[in-house]
Amino acid sequence: MAFSADELRVLRRALALALHPAPLPSDEVRECLRLAESVDEAIREAGRLRAFLLADLARYRVALPGSATGYLELLQDALAAGYRPQPDDLASLRSLRKLPLAAALLGRCQGIAERSVRARLARTSTPAAAPAAPAPRTRLTALPGGRADTKPVRPAGPQAPAPADNPTRGRPMPTPAEAFPPRKRPAPPGERREAS
């Protein structure tokens, strides 16, 4: 995640305030709230991109072996984003191990899967109490000297009305399969003779 120079200034001020509480002017409170909203939106967008990547990975895995090149590229991207390979991924990579990239990815995925299983076994074998679930991120509600409401003041601007006859309104962007449907294969020569 990258911050602009203004966002870094606000973040530095907020961190200094956390260490040494002091009253803040209302414009600095608004800047902190805007920065918190920007970070929340970036986190939501990262989640949406991850979900899209994993859905694409599953589609390419189903279309194997014809989609081997795309599948292997997507799997590399997913692993770089912290994806833990599933048993279906390991089985698919075993079937493609003749390809050098698939063989390398199989070794990498097997190592990740083994570490994941060992970590899970280590957690279940200790008699300690179950770890508490991580607390959800709380919203920034108030700063010392600031206002307590969480909604920043935004100027009300005119909004363009959405067309009523648009059936795709509210839908996410189309998937690659929707945007580029597969081509129909030509009929074998024997079937063409029978039809004519």
Residue-wise pLDDT for 36-67, tens only, equals 888 888 888 888 888 888 888 888 888 888 88
- As a whole number of angstroms, the distance between CA 151 and CA 147 comes to 10
Quote the mean pLDDT of the chain.
75
pLDDT at 82: 84
Q: What is the mean pLDDT of residues 4-19?
A: 79
Find the DSSP H helices in the chain: 5-19, 26-62, 68-80, 87-95, 100-125, 176-179, 189-195
Q: At residue 99, what is the residue type?
A: L
- As a whole number of angstroms, the distance between CA 88 and CA 138 comes to 36
Across 63-77, 79-93, 149-163, least confident range: 149-163
Q: What is the percentage of the chain residues whose pLDDT exceeds 70?
A: 64
Nearest Cα neighbor of 101 from 141, 70, 131 is 70
Residue 187 binned pLDDT confidence (cut-offs 50, 70, 90) = low
Residue-wise pLDDT for 151-183, tens only, equals 555 555 555 555 555 554 556 776 766 666 666
- Between 65 and 1, the higher pLDDT residue: 65
Q: What is the mean pLDDT of residues 57-81?
A: 86
- Between 21 and 179, the higher pLDDT residue: 21
Residue-wise pLDDT for 131-154, tens only, equals 555 555 555 555 555 555 445 555
Tokens of 91: 């089985």
pLDDT at 143: 53
